[in-house]
Structure 1
Amino acid sequence: MTQQREKFTYLCDRMNIQLTEKKEQIFRSTLDLIHHFGFHGSPMSKIAKDADVAVGSIYHYFPSKDDLIIELYWYCKEIINNYVFKAEENNLAYDQRFRIIWKNIVRFYQDHVYIFSFMEQFYGSPFYEEVRSSVFKEKSERNKIFHFLETGIEQKQLKDLHVRLILAAYLGPAISLVRSALYEKIRLEEDQLDTLVEIIWNGVKK
Structure 2
Amino acid sequence: MAKLQKSIDKRNALVKATIELVNNNGFHATPMSKIAKMANVSPATIYLYFENKQDLVNQTYIEVKSKYTDYAFATYNDKVSVEIGFEVIWKRIADFKLKECENAMFLAQCDNTPIIDELSRQEGTKHLQPLLDLWRRGKKEGIIKPMSDYILYAYAINPLSFLIISQKRGEFTLDKTHIEEAYQSAWNSIKVCSR
TM-score (norm 2): 0.82
The match for 1:142 is 127
Question: Are positions 1:36 and 2:24 aligned together?
Answer: yes
- 1:89-125 superposed Cα distances (whole Å, 9 cap, x missing partner): 4443220121222122222112222112212222233
Map Cα deviations across residues 23-80 of structure 1 (whole Å, 9 max, x no partner). Answer: 1111111112222222122211111121122211210100100000001001010000
- Mean CA deviation greater in 69-78 or 104-113: 104-113
Identity of aligned residues (%): 25
CA separation in 1, counterparts of 2:133 and 2:76?
18
Aligned-pair Cα RMSD in Å = 2.4
Structure 1: where are the runs of 5+ without partners?
1-18
Moved more, 81-90 or 165-174: 81-90
**Aligned residue number for residue 53 of structure 1:** 41
Matched, 1:94 2:82: yes
Matches of 2:58 and 2:117, distance apart in 1: 11
Structure 2 equivalent of residue 14 of structure 1: none
The aligned counterpart of 1:83 is 71
Alignment of 1:32-181 (within 5 A): 32-87=20-75, 89-131=77-119, 134-135=122-123, 141-144=126-129, 145-181=131-167
Cα offset, 1:168, TM superposition: 1.4
**2:176 aligns to what?**
190
Greater shift after overlay, 71-80 or 26-35?
26-35
CA distance in 2 between partners of 1:23 and 1:133 (Å): 21
Contact 1:149 1:167 in 2 (8 A): no
Amino acid at match of 2:127: R
Whole-angstrom CA distance in 2 between matches of 1:48 and 1:132: 23
Partners of 1:27 and 1:132 in 2: how far apart? 16
Task: Name the stretch that deviates more: 101-110 or 55-64.
Answer: 101-110
Distance in 2 (alpha carbons) for counterparts of 1:199 and 1:127: 30
What secondary structure, in the 3-state scheme, does the structure 2 residue paired with 1:58 have? helix
In the alignment, structure 2 segments of 5+ residues that lack a partner are 1-6
TM-score by length of 1: 0.78
The match for 1:11 is none
